[in-house]
Amino acid sequence: MGVDFLNRMKRTYTRTLDRRAVALRSPSLFDADMTCVNRTARGKIKHDAKPAEGERVMVREIEGKFVAQRGYAVIIELEKPPADYAEHVRRGGGIAEGTVSVVNPISQTAEVSFCE
Protein backbone atom coordinates (compact mmCIF):
# COMPACT_ATOMS: atom_id res chain seq x y z
CA MET A 1 0.00 0.00 0.00
CA GLY A 2 2.37 2.62 -1.18
CA VAL A 3 1.72 6.10 -2.39
CA ASP A 4 1.92 5.00 -6.02
CA PHE A 5 -0.93 2.53 -5.45
CA LEU A 6 -3.10 5.20 -3.80
CA ASN A 7 -2.43 7.63 -6.66
CA ARG A 8 -3.53 5.00 -9.20
CA MET A 9 -6.73 4.19 -7.30
CA LYS A 10 -8.01 7.72 -6.66
CA ARG A 11 -10.47 9.34 -9.03
CA THR A 12 -9.04 11.70 -11.55
CA TYR A 13 -10.31 15.23 -11.62
CA THR A 14 -10.42 17.08 -14.91
CA ARG A 15 -11.26 20.75 -14.99
CA THR A 16 -13.53 21.84 -17.82
CA LEU A 17 -14.68 25.24 -18.99
CA ASP A 18 -18.12 25.91 -20.37
CA ARG A 19 -17.24 28.12 -23.33
CA ARG A 20 -20.86 29.05 -24.07
CA ALA A 21 -21.45 30.34 -20.55
CA VAL A 22 -18.27 32.39 -20.73
CA ALA A 23 -19.33 33.81 -24.10
CA LEU A 24 -22.71 34.86 -22.69
CA ARG A 25 -21.15 36.68 -19.73
CA SER A 26 -18.36 38.46 -21.56
CA PRO A 27 -19.29 41.79 -23.17
CA SER A 28 -18.75 42.47 -26.85
CA LEU A 29 -18.68 45.60 -28.96
CA PHE A 30 -22.36 45.56 -29.97
CA ASP A 31 -24.01 44.35 -26.74
CA ALA A 32 -26.82 46.46 -25.33
CA ASP A 33 -25.57 47.47 -21.91
CA MET A 34 -28.32 48.22 -19.41
CA THR A 35 -26.94 51.03 -17.28
CA CYS A 36 -30.03 51.28 -15.10
CA VAL A 37 -33.33 49.55 -14.47
CA ASN A 38 -36.28 51.94 -14.71
CA ARG A 39 -38.91 51.69 -11.94
CA THR A 40 -42.24 53.53 -12.24
CA ALA A 41 -45.23 54.14 -9.95
CA ARG A 42 -48.49 56.00 -10.66
CA GLY A 43 -50.18 58.40 -8.28
CA LYS A 44 -52.81 61.11 -7.96
CA ILE A 45 -51.86 64.77 -8.34
CA LYS A 46 -52.61 66.67 -5.12
CA HIS A 47 -53.55 70.27 -4.31
CA ASP A 48 -53.92 71.45 -7.93
CA ALA A 49 -50.18 71.05 -8.48
CA LYS A 50 -48.98 71.19 -12.06
CA PRO A 51 -46.07 68.74 -12.36
CA ALA A 52 -44.21 68.86 -15.66
CA GLU A 53 -42.73 65.89 -17.49
CA GLY A 54 -39.05 65.59 -16.72
CA GLU A 55 -39.35 67.44 -13.42
CA ARG A 56 -37.13 66.12 -10.61
CA VAL A 57 -39.05 65.29 -7.43
CA MET A 58 -38.27 63.76 -4.06
CA VAL A 59 -40.01 60.43 -3.35
CA ARG A 60 -40.57 59.78 0.36
CA GLU A 61 -42.31 57.28 2.58
CA ILE A 62 -44.38 59.09 5.20
CA GLU A 63 -46.41 56.98 7.66
CA GLY A 64 -46.58 54.05 5.25
CA LYS A 65 -47.66 56.18 2.25
CA PHE A 66 -45.39 57.08 -0.64
CA VAL A 67 -45.47 60.67 -1.87
CA ALA A 68 -43.57 62.80 -4.37
CA GLN A 69 -42.59 66.26 -3.16
CA ARG A 70 -41.50 69.49 -4.78
CA GLY A 71 -39.61 71.20 -1.99
CA TYR A 72 -41.84 70.77 1.09
CA ALA A 73 -45.12 70.48 -0.81
CA VAL A 74 -46.63 67.08 -1.59
CA ILE A 75 -47.60 67.13 -5.27
CA ILE A 76 -48.23 63.43 -6.01
CA GLU A 77 -49.52 60.68 -3.72
CA LEU A 78 -48.37 57.33 -5.10
CA GLU A 79 -51.00 54.59 -4.98
CA LYS A 80 -49.75 51.08 -4.28
CA PRO A 81 -46.23 51.31 -5.70
CA PRO A 82 -44.65 48.02 -6.83
CA ALA A 83 -42.72 46.10 -4.18
CA ASP A 84 -39.30 46.71 -5.77
CA TYR A 85 -40.10 50.44 -6.05
CA ALA A 86 -41.01 50.61 -2.36
CA GLU A 87 -37.96 48.56 -1.39
CA HIS A 88 -35.65 50.95 -3.28
CA VAL A 89 -37.09 53.92 -1.39
CA ARG A 90 -36.79 52.12 1.95
CA ARG A 91 -33.16 51.15 1.25
CA GLY A 92 -32.41 54.84 0.73
CA GLY A 93 -33.59 55.71 4.22
CA GLY A 94 -37.17 56.40 3.14
CA ILE A 95 -36.19 58.92 0.48
CA ALA A 96 -35.22 58.77 -3.21
CA GLU A 97 -34.91 61.16 -6.12
CA GLY A 98 -37.31 60.56 -8.98
CA THR A 99 -38.45 62.06 -12.25
CA VAL A 100 -42.00 62.76 -13.38
CA SER A 101 -42.20 60.69 -16.56
CA VAL A 102 -45.88 60.98 -17.60
CA VAL A 103 -48.59 63.50 -16.65
CA ASN A 104 -52.26 62.74 -17.41
CA PRO A 105 -54.22 65.99 -16.94
CA ILE A 106 -57.63 64.42 -17.61
CA SER A 107 -57.35 61.73 -14.93
CA GLN A 108 -55.20 63.95 -12.66
CA THR A 109 -52.53 61.24 -12.36
CA ALA A 110 -48.80 61.23 -12.94
CA GLU A 111 -46.07 58.59 -13.09
CA VAL A 112 -42.85 58.97 -11.14
CA SER A 113 -39.84 56.90 -12.15
CA PHE A 114 -36.21 56.46 -11.20
CA CYS A 115 -33.25 54.41 -12.37
CA GLU A 116 -31.88 51.80 -10.03
Q: Where are the alpha helices (DSSP H) in the chain?
A: 3-9, 19-25, 83-91
Lowest mean pLDDT among 3-7, 17-21, 31-35: 31-35
> For residue 8, what pLDDT band results from cuts at 50, 70 and 90?
confident
* pLDDT for 37: 75
Res 16: pLDDT: 65
Cα separation of 45 and 90, whole Å?
Answer: 22
What is the identity of the amino acid at 99?
T
Which of 22-26, 76-80, 83-87 bottoms out in mean pLDDT, i.e. has the lowest?
A: 22-26
Residue type, 60: R
Q: With 80 as the cut, is the pLDDT of residue 31 above it? A: no
